Amino acid sequence: METGTAEHHRLGPLSDVEVLRIRNDFPILDQEVNGQPLVYLDSGATSQNPFSVMEAEQEYYEQRNSAVHRGAHTLAVAATDVFEDARSTVAAFIGADDNELVWTQNATAGLNLIAYSFGNASIGKVSEHAKKFALAAGDEVLVTEMEHHANLIPWQELCRRTGATLRFIPIHDDGTLDMDAAAELIGAKTKVLAFTHVSNVTGVINPVAELVALAHAVGAIVVLDACQSAPHLPLDVKALDVDFAVFSGHKMLAPTGIGGVYGRAALLDAMPPFLTGGSMITTVTMEEAGYLPAPQRFEAGTQPISQAAALAAACNYLSETGMDRIHAWEAELGQRLVRGLEGIEGIRVLGPPAGIPRAGLAAFEVEGVHAHDVGQFLDAAGIAVRVGHHCAQPLHRRLGLNSSTRASTYLYNTTAEVDAFLAAVAGVRAYFGVEGASL
């Protein structure tokens, strides 16, 4: 699937001039924080929304608000059309078919959906098709040492419930995945391999094709956490050959409360449901129920209709800008961040050094200054960054830290903003009176 047009490929990366025009679509960026122009470098946590996304959600409530798949009146039909048209748009954005996209609250909910469905296949009476997802003692679930907690704890719980063993692929000191270890760990006992496409701490872009090949060679199911890739680089789940993938709308210009699970159609239809109730059934008696095929079998209850419409608008905005161009621009900004941070005394950058491909983010440690103090110092200068363990405690522990400061860029960030951030970071140690820092 091509998310960018031929014209986008010809034009190459975005430029500061184009980004300044893009910024006009994001009203929240045109403000001051603590008396300084806002420099928003926390899109890895939550991105901002353009007018078109906010208007899509408002238009739904003004013109079409009704329950989907539940009524025959005009508004209900219109709402259902909006809902399913949004599914088509978002599915196409990630290279999937319409029936392969399940709406969820966010990526965390999506990962829990997959893990708990596998758990449901491991207990009680299930169909023959569902037995392929069952786990038991002796089976292994494999993750990596760089996972966000959302792609770790659900698998911990699944193993606890089923008796399977959780193992992890370690990382090198530079934050990259140890592929030799991966080749040794992925074996006949491996039933599930779940890993992040892009690390939310180090910016490492994992070798998906190699990992998928290793997993599929032993018949393992592959689950991809695409939270930090779907917003930032062209994503084609079919080309990547993953079995499942998850993403969150609020990281890709959409509102909170909407995300998605991609799953191969045959796998989704074979999986037991996770949440049960209305809208996901065929027939119900007082003794049992029959379930609809995917994606509806995983969409019990009232759905995030307006949010789905807004996520579709966000995907259209990203596609019109060109995902390949966005990725190239953020790669430039990421390298600018790392080069600049490496040039500041007392700064340790987490992940690969400058010159090695990474996403447009950088997490770092300031010698002698706690990450939360760094964040407050930057906030006083109008610069918004993330501080803490970024929901990746094992990764930080492996790197010898409890927390770090992270700057993450998106299509609306300029080189001037990156430079303003670097200039502010250069003054942190002196401000806090760290010994050896130059005033």
Q: Report whether 364 contacts 341 (CB < 8 A).
A: yes
Q: Report whether 413 contacts 40 (CB < 8 A).
A: yes
Q: How far apart are CA 206 and CA 220, in angstroms?
A: 18
The CA-atom distances, in angstroms, between 256 and each of 105, 217, 310 are 8, 37, 10
Q: Give DSSP secondary structure letters for 89-147.
A: HHHHHTT--GGGEEEESSHHHHHHHHHHHHHHHTSSS--TTGGGG---TT-EEEEETT-
Q: Sign (positive/negative) of CA torsion 112, 265, 67, 257?
A: positive
Q: How far apart are CA 210 and CA 402, in angstroms?
A: 31
Q: Report whether 119 contacts 311 (CB < 8 A).
A: no
Query: Using omega within 30 degrees of 0 as the cis cutoff, is the peptide bond preceding 295 cis?
Result: yes
Q: How far apart are CA 407 and CA 44, in angstroms?
A: 8
Q: Is 391 a catalytic residue?
A: yes
Q: How far apart are CA 261 and CA 268, in angstroms?
A: 10
Q: Which strands, in side-by-side order, build the sheet including 386-388?
A: 347-349, 361-366, 404-408, 386-388
Indicate which residues carry an active-site annotation. Answer: 391
